[in-house]
């Protein structure tokens, strides 16, 4: 299924190897496709919730979003991006200045270190431009697979699955994974759908998690996936 996809060549080698180790049953793949179809109808405009205009802005915003709401990040970044316009600006921001600018997002000291480190690598190793290859993105400070996938998916239009807490919870509730490590959940989900559907599926799942399939009180009675979800009372195997 995946090898025939025209976007398969853009999937990083580490994920390809993980997908090759997984052989989900056809019944499971068929249910995943039905769920993806329904979520696309439910959330036709699903996209990244972080505001950005460039790959660098999205990278910075994604780093800031750790343990912070997207809404709060979007309040901070407009002024931030007026002051810091390129990777060099972030890389050599005076000590204390960047920290103060991102203070409202929490954990600002660690986030400032991550942003400076990533920006310096972009300047010194990638000519001042954010790379698009997964292997290169993972070389940047503060950039694990979740952040790298967000940048690839939404700044470069490449296939990816970004595993946040909403995505993790829903994949487990849907019975698509029993894993708890984000990298393994990413691979389990990727093995179910062709790569051209990964981004829209991820964005829709995250919105579904915020709106309906919430952590403490999932609204199963109002869920468009109830009959396809093992965690809901109406599911039939």
Do 64 and 111 belong to one domain? yes
> Does 86 reside within a domain?
yes
232 CB-near residues (< 8 Å, 6+ apart): 220, 223, 225, 226
Do 64 and 31 belong to one domain? no
Domain that holds residue 65: 55-129
Residue whose entry in the numeric block shows the structure tokens 């991550």: 114
pLDDT digit string, tens, across residues 117-175? 999 999 999 999 999 999 999 999 889 999 999 999 999 999 999 999 999 999 999 99
- Lowest pLDDT segment from 50-54, 142-146, 187-191, 232-236: 232-236
Instruction: Look up the CATH number of the domain holding residue 77.
Output: 1.10.340.30
Give DSSP secondary structure letters for 140-181: STT--HHHHHHHHHHHS--------HHHHHHHHHTTS----S
Do 124 and 164 belong to one domain? no
> Does 199 reside within a domain?
yes
Mean pLDDT, the chain, integer = 95
Do 41 and 82 belong to one domain? no
Enzyme catalytic residues = 146, 164
Instruction: Look up the CATH number of the domain holding residue 180.
Output: 1.10.1670.10
> Does 3 reside within a domain?
no
Domain tally for the chain?
2
> Does 61 reside within a domain?
yes
Examine the pLDDT at 237 and tell me if it is beyond 90.
no
> Does 97 reside within a domain?
yes
Q: What confidence tier does 5 reach under pLDDT thresholds 50, 70, 90?
A: confident
> Does 150 reside within a domain?
no
């Amino acid at each position: 299924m995946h090898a025939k996809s025209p976007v398969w060549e853009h999937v990083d080698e580490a994920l390809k190897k993980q997908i090759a180790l997984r052989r989900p049953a056809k019944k499971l793949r068929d249910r995943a496709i039905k769920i993806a179809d329904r979520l696309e109808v439910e959330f036709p405009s699903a996209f990244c919730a972080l505001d950005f205009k460039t790959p660098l802005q999205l990278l910075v915003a994604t780093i800031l979003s750790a343990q912070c709401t997207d809404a709060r990040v979007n309040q901070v970044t407009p002024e931030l991006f007026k002051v810091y316009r390129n990777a060099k600006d972030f890389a050599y921001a005076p000590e204390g200045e960047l920290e103060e600018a991102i203070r409202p997002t929490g954990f600002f000291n660690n986030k400032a270190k991550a942003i400076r480190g990533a920006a310096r690598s972009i300047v010194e190793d990638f000519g001042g431009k954010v790379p698009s290859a997964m292997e290169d993105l993972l070389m940047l400070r503060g950039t694990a697979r979740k952040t790298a996938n967000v940048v690839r998916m939404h700044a470069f239009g490449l296939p990816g699955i970004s595993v946040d807490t909403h995505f993790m919870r829903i994949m487990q509730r849907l019975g698509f994974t029993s894993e708890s490590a984000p990298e393994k959940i990413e691979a389990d989900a990727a093995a179910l759908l062709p790569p051209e559907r990964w981004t829209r599926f991820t964005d829709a799942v995250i919105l579904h998690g915020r709106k309906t399939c919430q952590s403490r009180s999932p609204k199963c009675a109002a869920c468009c996936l109830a009959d396809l979800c093992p965690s809901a009372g109406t599911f039939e195997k």
